[in-house]
Amino acid sequence: MDSMRHPVGPLPSSIYWRRRAVVLCLLALVIALIVWAVNSGTSGNKKNGAGGDDGRHPAHSITPSPGPSTGTPIDRPPGGTGGNSGTGGSPGSGGSAGTAGDTGAGGQDGGAGGTGSAGGAAGGSGGSGGSTGSVGGSSGAGGVDGGTSTGGTVPAGSTLPNCAPSKVKLTLRPEKNAYESDERPQFVLTITNSGSGTCKVDLGRASAVLKITNDSDDEVWTSDHCAKSPSPALVQVPGNGRTVRSYTWDRKHNASKCDSDARGAEAENGTYVVEVDIPGLGSAPATFTLKS
């Protein structure tokens, strides 16, 4: 113990004390460094484990999600499949097509022949092209333009059966409820066939009689006025389908004399009744108004 307090050596004791102080300082420094290193490591592990954020670190970047994936390409056109198209296409057997270019009797030019319905059932009736023709009055009479029809013309002597009254419904309507002085009234006749087979209807001037009367029930115009041996104008009506025919009236009365070139007087303003009558199939009326 004396050697600790009183160093023994050739040098003065103060030198030995200085050496001991230096060694102790170095030892204390080493211990402090070790303690600091241990504490730093422990603190870092705690922060990493807790996932804490002291607000001094930059925010985490947001990784953009991948773009929309490309799905299986659509190789079919939009819309349903197997849809029926074409006029008058309907299922059934033995459907007949319109005759291309046939000349209809009674002033009707044969329209385009019937075409099979796209996507229709096998054997379905073909949709008929529009036939045109005038059923206006003869010389000296006012007239109604026959307009167009969706029913294909049928040649005379055709074996196509006549439409049965129990299977056919007639509907007549004006295109407008009221017509100005510069407008010609237009009417639409619809023949609906609820039967399964195609049939024919005579729309000739003497068979499908179109009559216009005023609000006093006085006859103004009829399609069979001054008709001289009119020929039939046969059109077909597809099974479970319909045929539509349009008419345009020239607003003239029937002429008083059939052998005169003079036309009838202009119809006055007021309410009128138009009616179509087809023997065996019934009649269909509609009302309209003429304005000044």
The predicted structure's pLDDT at residue 210: 94
Q: What does the pLDDT look like over 134-162, one tens digit per residue?
A: 333 333 344 666 555 566 889 988 999 99
Higher pLDDT residue, 76 or 202? 202
Q: What does the pLDDT look like over 32-62, one tens digit per residue?
A: 999 988 888 776 555 555 444 444 444 443 3
The predicted structure's pLDDT at residue 273: 98
Residue 254, class by beta-carbon neighbours within 10 Å (0-12 exposed, 13-18 middle, 19+ buried)? buried
Q: What number of other Cβ atoms are within 10 A of residue 206's Cβ?
A: 18
The residues that bridge with 9 in the sheet, in sequence order, are none
CATH code, 108-290? 2.60.40.10
Q: Determine which helix (DSSP H) or strand (DSSP E) holds 44, and give its type and residue range.
A: helix 13-50
The predicted structure's pLDDT at residue 290: 97
Look at the block and give the residue holding tokens 């009221």: 178
Whether the predicted model's global pTM rises above the 0.85 cut: no
- Segment among 119-128, 222-231, 251-260 with least mean pLDDT: 119-128
Picking from 223, 189, 191, the residue whose alpha carbon sits closest to that of residue 209 is 223
The number of residues in the chain equals 292
The predicted structure's pLDDT at residue 69: 40
Where are the chain's structural domains?
2-40, 108-290
CA distance 27 to 30: 5
